[in-house]
Every structure is written in C-alpha cells, then in structure tokens.
Structure 1
Amino acid sequence: MKMDKCLLTVVVGVLMLGGCSARVVTVSPGPLIRVEGQQVSIRCDVAEYSGPREQDFEWMMIRKAIGTRIKIISTFDAGYSHTSLSDRVASGDISVVRLHDSQVELKIAEVKMTDAGFYWCQTPSTDSVISGNYEAQVQLTVIPNTLQVSPLTPPPVRGATSEDILTFGPQGDVVTGAKYARRYADGGIRLVPGKNGVFELVISRMMSTDEGIYECNGTEWTHEDGGNWIKIVESTKEMGTVAVTPTGQSLSVKASSSSSSSSLLLTPDETLTLLCSVAADNLPSVSLEVSWLADGRDLITMERSGVVISNTSSSGGALGNRGEASLERTGGGEYRLGVRGVSGEDGGAYTCRIRAFIEKGGRSSGGGGRWHMAAEKTSSAVTVKVAQISE
C-alpha cells in the first residue's frame, strides 16, 4: 500500500509540472540603431512551450509616422504581409530565416528610414493552457548615412601598398600596428584629434619605409544593451601616396675657385669668383636656398623663389667695407658668387650653405606653399687672401 501511494504521488507531481509551464518569447535586446542602407537582423526565441516542437512566428511593426500595427512576414502564411511590404518580401529584401525549431530571425537586407519603429514577434499558441507571454517587442532606430571620410590635402603622386598604422577605437583606446608600436610609444607617431571629426596623423622622422598609399577608415559604432559595441557603418578614403625623399643622405655641396687649391690669393680691386656645386639623388624634386658665408657670417643668399638678398653693398653693409657681392644660378645645381673690387676686408674663409626644402603634399598637388626644410649642408671652406699693396 505504501508503494502504491508513492507512485501516485510521483504521477500527480509530473502532471502538475506540465500544467504550470509558461511560454516565454524574447527578441534581440534593444533599442537597435542602424544606418540607412545597412542590413538588420532581429532574432526571436520561444521557450517553455507545449505542443509541436517546431513553432511558428509572425512579425509586425508600428511605424512612428502611422501609429498602427503593420503585418510584416510570417513563417506559415504566405499572404500575411501588408501591401506596402509585399514587394520587398517577394524580392527577398525582407525575409524570415528559421534558425531552430524555436528560433527565427527577421532580416532586412537594406533598411530604410521608414523602417524605424517598434517590432513585434508573436507566436501563435500551441499550449493546452494559456500562460506566459506570446509576443515581445524591440525598437529599431534608423539614422541617415552621413559618415564621410575625406583628405585635407589632395593626393600626391606615385602608387604603392598600404598597411595598418593606428586605430582609434569607440572607447577612446588607440591600437597600433605591430610595425609602429615602438614609434608610437616614443612619440614618433601621433594621432591628434581636432574639431568637427578631424583626426590628424603625425609621423615624425620619416623613413624610406614610410612610403606608400595612406588610407583613412572611419567607423561609426553604437552601444547597445549588454555593453556591446556594434559597428553600424564604415567608410574608407584613400588619402594619397606619400613619397619619402632621402634628401639628407644624398645631398652634398662643394665650394671651389678657379684654382684647384683650397686657398685663393687676390690683389685689391680684383673680382672674387667662387662656385657652389650641389648634388642630390632627387635634386629636381627639392627647392634650394643657397647662401655664401664669409667667416661664418651670411654674405649673400638666393631664396627658394630666386630672390637674392645681399648683406653687402658698395658703400659698406652689415659686414663692413666688403666688395659688392652677387649670386647667380649658372646651371643645374651650380651657383656662382662674385665679389667685385675686393679689399683686405674681403679675405677670410668662404663656405656655401645649402638648405633643401620639400613642399608638403607634393608639387603636383598645388599645396599652397607649405614648405618643410628636409636637410641642410655646408661646404668645406675656401680660404681667400687679399694681398696688401705696400706704398
């Protein structure tokens, strides 16, 4: 008898458990924020149900502009869709994909601004007793695709490949490419945020390996429930090709006179003539500033523009009563100094100083005159002596 009562108790307990099950319908946590034209996927699950293992689902929505429910798509009724959505359903732009017996996913291939609103997932009841929830909702916000990436400087010449340098993440963290980690730590590579979404990449001490096509990739993120960052749109723009000119390594300058000696002897009122010869691997791509110095003091300079500025004159100038100096370009990389009517004041050590400038952005870009001094070299000295005439 005790055995029978125990069995009866177990059976009754099982029956009570079956009758107390409560259906639970859930959808993807929201609100969901997507960009116009992007794909949207909203998952719907049902659990704790009775009846057939494979469950059916219906999707509906309320558009903000309308305020009434619109039927979207169903897993069992081909004619379920509202007439305003039937063409999109037929084309596959809107579809429902079964992931499991109790799980489906609503997909919109290219979301429109008019798709914004509240979405309902509903499951027709197959339970013997109605209990729990049979639908769940989530809000979808659709924003216009306004993300644009554009270079602040026009692309210069030459083509090459590109690779990751820096990534500025949605949480404010900076991730460097493996090749650039040390240079970033040393301050040789910096990311400088500016106003209105402008980010400037600054690379100091450029190397020949920095040549290549530079691209900027902008990504827009949204922070959804659960603490996850979701990428909603990205855009990539080629910023142009950077060519590194190894000017400092190849630039050379030599000062010489008509004689092969490093010294020159003149008599008063003669004309001093010295030649400055400049050589570089890429001489046509740089702009030169040429100066002659006497005993380390600037005598005359030809600026990048070709304008000549002299610190001497026939009546005496900043360097005293020296002869009148002139400077002219006589050929590719050749600059001739002339000093007429020399006197004892014109004796000294003459050197030629070259400063090589590169236009930022490249000459072909019409870059607006932003110049960077890439290298400076000074020649060895030519000693000039002016003989004193005894009376």
Structure 2
Amino acid sequence: MGLAQCLEAAFLFLLLLGLTSGQRLVTVQQGPLYRVRGSHVTLWCKVSGYQGPAEQNFQWSIYLPSAPEREVQIVSTVDPSFPYAIYTQRVRSRGIYVERVQGDAVLLHITELQDRDAGEYECHTPNTDERYFGSYSAKTNLSVIADTLSASMAPQVLTHTEGDAVELTCEVSKSTIQHTHLSVGWYHLQGAGEHHAEEVLILSKDFILKPGPSYVQRFLEGDVQLNKVGNTTYKLFLRRVKPSDHGQLYCEATEWIEDPDKTWKDISLRQTERTSLTVLSQGRDLSVDIGAAESSVSEGDTLQLNCMVEAQKSSSRHFQVIWLLNGMEVARVDLHGVLTWKEKYEERAKLGQLRALKPSNTIYVLTISEVGLRDNGTYQCSVSEMKTPGELHAIQTNLSSGIQVIVKPVGLSLHATLRSRIATIRYGQSFELVCQVSANYSLEEVPMSVRWLFQPSPPTSPYRELVQVFPSGTVAWVAAQSHFKEKAQLMKADTSFRLHIHSAVAANEGKYQCEVEVWRRNVLPLGQPSATTRSNAVGIKVVMPESKLQVSTQNSSVEVASSADTAIECRIVFAQNNSQLAVTWYLLPPLADGAPVQIVRANYSSVLEYGPEFSSPAQKSRFLSQRVSSNVFWLQILSVNLGDRGQYYCVVEEWLWLVDGWYKLGEGTSGRTTLELKLPERELQMEKTNDSLSAREGEEVTLPCLLQGARLPDTRLSATWFQMKESGLSSPLLILHHNGTVLSPQQGLAPRLYLRHPTAGDFGLTLSRVERSDAGLYYCQVQEWQQQGEGKDWALQASAHSGYSQLTTIPPESTVMSRICSSPSLLNFILCLPLVLILLLALAIFCWYYKYEKSKKGNVLGNQLMELEGNGEVKTTGL
C-alpha cells in the first residue's frame, strides 16, 4: 500500500472515530455533477453530530473557475445580507433560494441554470456547539453543459373508425458529450384541455417498455407497440383504436445522467407538438329479445327458450351468444357456432338434458329436458358482435330483458341430505358420510339404490361416480376409482346410506354427493325408478403433515477474482429427519427486471435438471449443485466471469414419503448472496459509449470493443464477449485467452463469430450471416495479464468492460432472386424450362429429319416410275 493510500485509510479511521464521539460532520451531494443550461437544479446539504439546536443554519458559496481561491457568497438561511452583489437580485426574486427539508438538511435551488453558475459549491454550517470539533463545510463541483436534446413530431389531425390502425412517428436525438441515456414516451390527453396527461407507452432509460395503467391489457395483447427504427426514430403503433383513444397524442423525450452516487437524474425534457385523433364509433343497431313457449313448467317437463337477434345485414355479421341464469353464465355459442358449457352444467349436457342450438344467425335456442327446481330463476341472453371471425374483442354487446321461469314440484317429493361430522381431518384419519333420504310418502319396503359421487379438489373435472349400491345389495365399483374401493366401507340402515373412508390420503380430498333412486310398483313397472334426487355437496379437507423447514435468510456477498472458482452456500436451519430435500438455484442478473433465472434443480433423489439458460454443455460444466453436509448445499461456480455477476439464492423443498407416494410438505427461500468480481486496482481505459447498431439478416456486422490509453510493459491481453438475453443473463460468446487460444462456449454461434483484432487494442467482434435471433445487447470485457517471473503463472493486473451495443436486425431485402427462391412453383418452372426447351428442340429436329428422309425417298421412287413409263423396263437407280 502506498503512502497516499495509508494516509487516506488513516483519515477515514479518524473520521469514523470522530463520528462515534459526536463529531460534527457536514455532507453535500457528491460531485462532479453535470446539469443542462436553463434547467432547475437542486443540491442537498446536511449536518450531523452537532450538539446545538435541532434547527441548524446553512450558507452557500461558490468558487468560480476563473478565481478558484476566492469565495463568492450566494445565499444564507440566517443572514439576508450574505449574498454578494452578483447574486442579490436572483436571491430576492427567488431565482436562487434554500428549501429546508428538515432541521439539519436543506436543498439549494437554482431555478434557471446559467453558464456562470458552474464552479465549486461550498455548504457551510455556522457553529452551534460549545467548541469547534469536526467539519463545518463540504464542497461539490457543478458543471453546466449545453442542452442538445431535441424531439419532434409533425402535428396531424387524424380521423379514424373504431378498430382502425394508427401509427405516429417521433424523432429524438442528442449530442451530449457525457454518457447519458434517453427515455421516450407517448402520452394521451382527453379533449383539448391541459389537464393531466395519461401514459400510453414508455421506453425507459433502461430499455424497458412500460405501458400506462389503461393500456396494460392492450400492450400484452400486442395492440399497443413502440418500435425504435435506427438511432433517432420512435414509432407508436395502435393496432385497434377505441373511442377512449379520442383526444391528443404527443411524444416526450427525457435525457438522464448518472451522478457519482449511482443515481440517475433527468437533466432535460422535450415535448413534441400534438396530434389530434378523432375515433368514430361503429353503429349500434343491435336488438336482442328472449321468449319461451311456457314460462311455468313442472318438474320433469321440457323448457325451451328462444333468443332473437335483430340487426341490419345480420347474415354477414358475426355474433356470440351467452345464456345466463340469475346473472350467471350457463353456456355460450361463439360466432362459429361452437358450444361451450359452464362446468356445473357439463354433466347434464352429456346426459342429453341440456341442448343449445343455432338454427340461424339470428335465432338461438336453449332446451332443458327433465327440468328440476334448480332450474328456477330469471333467464337472459347476451349477444356480442365481433368485427371479424378472428376478433377477441366485441364491437358492441346487448343484453336481453329477463324472463322468469317457475318450476313447480311431479307429487313424488324425494329429498336426500348428505352430512359429515368432521369436514377437516388429518392425513391417515378416517371419516364417514351419511346420506339421509326423506319423502312425502312412506319409504318402508320401497326399493332404493344409491350412487356415491366425488369431485377432487381443486376441481379438475365434473362429479364422477365412485360406486353404486343396488336395491338387491349388489355393489358396483367404477374401475377408475379402485383406490377408494380399498379404503371404503358401505352400509345401509333404514332410510340412510353410509360411506366410511379409512386412512384418508390427499386424493380423498374434495366434494361428495349421493344420488338416490326409488322404485314404486304403483307408479311404474318394477325395475324402473320412479323418482331420483341428488343431495347437497359436502366438502372434505385432508390436512397433510406440516412442514417445519427453516432456511437461512441472511443476505451475504462474495467477491471473487476473475477466472477463479467460488461456491454459494444454502444453509438449512431445521428440517425433519425423515424428509428428503430438493434444492433449486436461481440467479437474479444485475439488469433483470425482477425475473429470476433458474440455474439448476436437484430433486429429492439428487437428479439434476438445468434451466433453459444453463442447459448448454459449457454452462453445465461450470455450475454444479452439491450437498456437502446434511444441512448445507453448495452451488459451485467454476471459472467465474463478468456475466456471472448478480444475486444468487436457493429454494428448498421438503418432501415426505406417505402411503400413496411422495408429498411436498413445504418450501423455503434463502437469503440472497451477491456475487461481484474482485477487480484489480488498476482499471483499463475503454470506450464505454452505449450505441445502437442495425444489420440486415444474412449480412455481417462488427460490434466495437476498443481499448484506450497505455498498457504496462510485458503484458498480454485477454477479451471476452457477452450477449445479454431478455432475462438479463449475460452469456459468454467468445473468449480470447492471454495465451492466444480462442474458445467459443456457444457451439451454435461459433461458426459465425470472428474476432477482428486489427490492432493491439481493438477486439471488435464480427457476426456473419446475421439472423433475427441475434438482436439484443452485447458488450466485451478486456483484461491485462503479466507473468510473475520466468516460468511462473500469469497474474491479472487490470480489467475493464465496454459500453453496451444494442443490435437490431432488419429483414432481408426482397430481390428478384429472393422472390424466385421463395416461390417453389416459380423456382421449379425456371429450373425445368431449359430441359423442356431442349426436348422441344430435339423433337423439332427429329420431325424435320423424318420429313426430309420421307421426301427424299419419294423423289427416288418417282424417278424410278418415270423411267419405267418411258422405256417399259425396270431400272434400279438405288434407294
């Protein structure tokens, strides 16, 4: 450690010692600060460790660059005559003023920053203690920079019909020398007033899209989008405008700078001119009515309800109909005629007791056969019109008036009541259900049968039959419910039926019903039920053994040198001896938006399952889950790199083997361990400007990584390129070791990655044959290594990482060749055309040759005939 470091450590120690002894300390906002000319600026100052009154006084001064040793007094909380002449008018007009946040903390306000306000500011607190002890002032630097932010949008007056698409373009640029970020957002004003604007969609300074409260659902459905084209163009796309979009839209850009205390401050804001949007509503001519042949029916009768739709040009429009009973949905018929029943009606529909038909586009029929008292109530139909068959949102909806249906009791009153003494039982206990039957006539010697029904919890299906007991005593179990058969005991006494379940397990939890049928000889022939009734539902809850698992929630941090190995600990404070533990490791990357990434899971049998982001061979070889003792798990990370930074934690599950299998008792989440790289004392100088690049698919692009400044002698450099995924996880793409070897951890990308390296400090990465999936954030890390002696190891001397490069991919250009290749029929035609032409040419030559030979033979034969006719002799001249 050098002399300067020793003095600094001693000073900090003395300062800490003084603080513990009640020493006065004045602190001011950490500089240097960069603020834009003309903006409103605040600087905070506070005092601690004082012994005087609770309300302290503050005085602000400035040391100008032109006279750094001369104090110029600005403003005071106690002395009105404190300001120098050059500040007197601005203080009186409150262009400069002090706001007291609390008794020992204030804010200095400069309402309109000027170039002459640049300098070193000092905050001084007059002494109120019995003696001078500590610091009474603190300083910070403020620089004034030009405002280069611009935002523009051409004002328009737009008129659209509800459901149309709208696109607006905003041009935003800046040329600030300092490293700043931009946020761009779109805002909506109802009407022409100047009242509060509503957020539509904002691209934050951290490159995150955030919809306004009223636009969240439309953003998730893709109806509201913000696209960045190139470096300066931002486009808002509203896929389906609504009447609520009526009003004014404008774009707002904000420039942000990171202060030395790592907080981001908005330093400039621009609003564009406004675009007026008028949204015309669709016509509302939909009329709905409901009717019934008879609104008063008896039990067992059939009820038919008709829903009539009236609308202009109804045959070409698309309607969805929902049937309602007492305001609750029964069934719906979508615009394609597809019928969907609500869960409680599915079983009756399967038995044919419920039907819903669509005879035409304007008539819908609901039929209920064998109506019961449960069908009493008010029926309505709700009709919604959709713009297109694929539409998910209704253009308009209309609800019919209600029709009251009264179901009168068929003389044979039969009733079943189901009860249980205990509704909540512990795992392994027994419970009993009693089904009591009653009627308005004597049930003595009346044959009865019972069906026991069960619906599991949570409900994943309608009630299903467990077992049926016939009047003869025959028991018929449903094959799929054999696990009940082994535990159940069935009994009958007079007019009650009992179902006793031994040693209940989790699968026995749910709702139970009994359905009773009676036969009466004087009503129907023997063997046919004259009345049927179903009981109320009784819920049984099976309480499983409680988990007593405790996982250490203490947060910690680990600092590791680059390329070294480390281990993250997950400690179990308490777990039952007879339980098994499963552990899942998660990583929250530094720039992740609250979404952790699963690394690896070791189940209760120690079988490893890696998450999607860590499933490559390179990642599997570096991240290992290991149980080092009965209560300690380790996540081992080998060869730590820059992309491994973040917060690690584990989720431990406690599993117990019960009668019917493994059961998860509970789980616990550990505290978070922050992993940081231990950087060398010396930092390399690198170009850290964040930039945006675009490349067309199929072409190549070079991502910059430029080392600046001097290097130590006899050193070597290594470089690692990272790609940041949507999850915030940084994955290494290519590694250049200091010995010159190159490693490509991601095999799929390896053939397309080239390290340009034209000069000693340039490690630009060339990505060839760009694909759509290559879009994202990229950055590099450069390290400097030096050998410790002849034949000894190389040690890390310095390190730094570049800024972020945002790569945007552009679809390939449509050329004649690409259009040909994208059309199989056209491509086949062009490939086959030469062959067809050759065949046609060969056929033409053959035909010509055939005709030529034929005519030649004809001429020879003619000459022979002429000779025969001339002298009466046959003379052969040769064929």
TM score, norm. by length of structure 2 = 0.24
Deviation at 1:76, TM superposition (A): 3.1
Q: Is 1:93 the counterpart of 2:95 in the alignment?
A: yes
Q: Is 1:174 the counterpart of 2:209 in the alignment?
A: yes
Q: 1:59·1:122 contact (CA, 8 Å) conserved in 2? A: yes
User: Closer, same or farther in 2 for the Cα pair 1:18/1:233, shift >3 Å?
Assistant: closer
Identity %: 32
* Inter-partner Cα distance in structure 1 for 2:200 and 2:267: 22
Deviation at 1:207, TM superposition (A): 5.5
What is the match of residue 70 of structure 1? 72
Q: Deviations over 1:118-151 (max 9, x none)?
A: 2111123344443321111122233333333211
Q: 1:19·1:129 contact (CA, 8 Å) conserved in 2? A: no
* Inter-partner Cα distance in structure 2 for 1:188 and 1:134: 58
Q: 1:73·1:96 contact (CA, 8 Å) conserved in 2? A: yes
* Inter-partner Cα distance in structure 2 for 1:18 and 1:163: 48
Q: 1:74·1:80 contact (CA, 8 Å) conserved in 2? A: yes
Q: 2:135 aligns with which of 133, 136, 139?
A: 133
* Inter-partner Cα distance in structure 2 for 1:126 and 1:211: 61
What is the match of residue 307 of structure 1? none
Residues 336-351 of structure 1: pairs in structure 2 closer than 5 A: none
What is the match of residue 192 of structure 1? 227
What is the match of residue 152 of structure 2? 150
Q: Deviations over 1:30-86 (max 9, x none)?
A: 443333333222222222123455433221112234434311122333322222212
1:114 is paired with a residue whose SS is helix
Q: 2:19·2:49 contact (CA, 8 Å) conserved in 1? A: no
1:145 is paired with a residue whose SS is coil
* Inter-partner Cα distance in structure 2 for 1:117 and 1:78: 23
Deviation at 1:217, TM superposition (A): 1.6
Q: Is 1:219 the counterpart of 2:254 in the alignment?
A: yes
2:215 is paired with a residue whose SS is helix
Deviation at 1:154, TM superposition (A): 4.1
* Inter-partner Cα distance in structure 1 for 2:213 and 2:54: 51
The AA in structure 2 aligned to 1:171 is D
2:91 is paired with a residue whose SS is helix
List gaps (5 residues or longer) in structure 1: 1-16, 253-391
Residues 41-52 of structure 1: pairs in structure 2 closer than 5 A: 41-52=42-53
Q: Deviations over 1:213-261 (max 9, x none)?
A: 22112222233344433333323223412356799xxxx9xxxxxxxxx
Q: 2:39·2:111 contact (CA, 8 Å) conserved in 1? A: yes
2:157 is paired with a residue whose SS is coil
1:85 is paired with a residue whose SS is helix
Deviation at 1:95, TM superposition (A): 2.0
Q: 1:32·1:139 contact (CA, 8 Å) conserved in 2? A: yes
Specify which structure has the bigger relative contact order, considering alpha-carbon pairs within 8 angstroms and separated by 6 or more residues: 1
The AA in structure 2 aligned to 1:38 is S
List gaps (5 residues or longer) in structure 2: 1-17, 160-188, 192-196, 283-312, 314-879
The AA in structure 2 aligned to 1:229 is W
Q: Deviations over 1:175-201 (max 9, x none)?
A: 113443344334333211134432111
* Inter-partner Cα distance in structure 1 for 2:103 and 2:274: 50
The AA in structure 2 aligned to 1:133 is S
What is the match of residue 267 of structure 2? 232
Q: 1:99·1:105 contact (CA, 8 Å) conserved in 2? A: yes
User: Closer, same or farther in 2 for the Cα pair 1:60/1:205, shift >3 Å?
Assistant: same
Q: 1:120 aligns with which of 108, 119, 122?
A: 122
* Inter-partner Cα distance in structure 1 for 2:238 and 2:53: 64
Deviation at 1:109, TM superposition (A): 2.1
The AA in structure 2 aligned to 1:134 is Y
Residues 373-384 of structure 1: pairs in structure 2 closer than 5 A: none
What is the match of residue 38 of structure 1? 39
* Inter-partner Cα distance in structure 1 for 2:105 and 2:242: 56
* Inter-partner Cα distance in structure 1 for 2:57 and 2:28: 15
Q: Please, what is the CA RMSD of the aligned residues? A: 3.6
What is the match of residue 80 of structure 1? 82
Q: 1:106 aligns with which of 105, 108, 115?
A: 108
* Inter-partner Cα distance in structure 2 for 1:195 and 1:141: 31
* Inter-partner Cα distance in structure 1 for 2:134 and 2:49: 9
TM score, norm. by length of structure 1 = 0.51
1:131 is paired with a residue whose SS is coil
* Inter-partner Cα distance in structure 1 for 2:152 and 2:254: 13
User: Closer, same or farther in 2 for the Cα pair 1:245/1:31, shift >3 Å?
Assistant: same
Q: 2:35·2:143 contact (CA, 8 Å) conserved in 1? A: yes
Q: 1:149·1:235 contact (CA, 8 Å) conserved in 2? A: yes
Q: Deviations over 1:295-332 (max 9, x none)?
A: xxxxxxxxxxxxxxxxxxxxxxxxxxxxxxxxxxxxxx
Q: 1:169·1:175 contact (CA, 8 Å) conserved in 2? A: yes
* Inter-partner Cα distance in structure 1 for 2:148 and 2:215: 31
Q: 1:213·1:238 contact (CA, 8 Å) conserved in 2? A: no
Q: 1:160·1:213 contact (CA, 8 Å) conserved in 2? A: yes
* Inter-partner Cα distance in structure 2 for 1:240 and 1:19: 60
* Inter-partner Cα distance in structure 2 for 1:208 and 1:128: 70
* Inter-partner Cα distance in structure 2 for 1:119 and 1:31: 10
User: Closer, same or farther in 2 for the Cα pair 1:184/1:23, shift >3 Å?
Assistant: same
The AA in structure 2 aligned to 1:142 is V
Q: 2:155·2:273 contact (CA, 8 Å) conserved in 1? A: no
* Inter-partner Cα distance in structure 2 for 1:232 and 1:211: 32
The AA in structure 2 aligned to 1:175 is K
* Inter-partner Cα distance in structure 2 for 1:130 and 1:197: 56
The AA in structure 2 aligned to 1:130 is Y
What is the match of residue 58 of structure 2? 57
* Inter-partner Cα distance in structure 2 for 1:64 and 1:195: 40
Q: 2:74·2:87 contact (CA, 8 Å) conserved in 1? A: yes
User: Closer, same or farther in 2 for the Cα pair 1:102/1:203, shift >3 Å?
Assistant: closer
Q: Is 1:164 the counterpart of 2:166 in the alignment?
A: no
Deviation at 1:171, TM superposition (A): 1.2
Residues 204-353 of structure 1: pairs in structure 2 closer than 5 A: 204-206=239-241, 210-243=245-278
User: Closer, same or farther in 2 for the Cα pair 1:53/1:197, shift >3 Å?
Assistant: same
* Inter-partner Cα distance in structure 2 for 1:232 and 1:174: 21
What is the match of residue 297 of structure 1? none
Residues 354-369 of structure 1: pairs in structure 2 closer than 5 A: none
User: Closer, same or farther in 2 for the Cα pair 1:66/1:155, shift >3 Å?
Assistant: farther
* Inter-partner Cα distance in structure 2 for 1:144 and 1:63: 18
Specify the structure having the higher radius of gyration (Cα): 2
The AA in structure 2 aligned to 1:84 is I
Q: 1:38·1:232 contact (CA, 8 Å) conserved in 2? A: yes
1:76 is paired with a residue whose SS is coil
* Inter-partner Cα distance in structure 1 for 2:40 and 2:213: 33
Deviation at 1:25, TM superposition (A): 0.6
Q: 1:160·1:241 contact (CA, 8 Å) conserved in 2? A: no
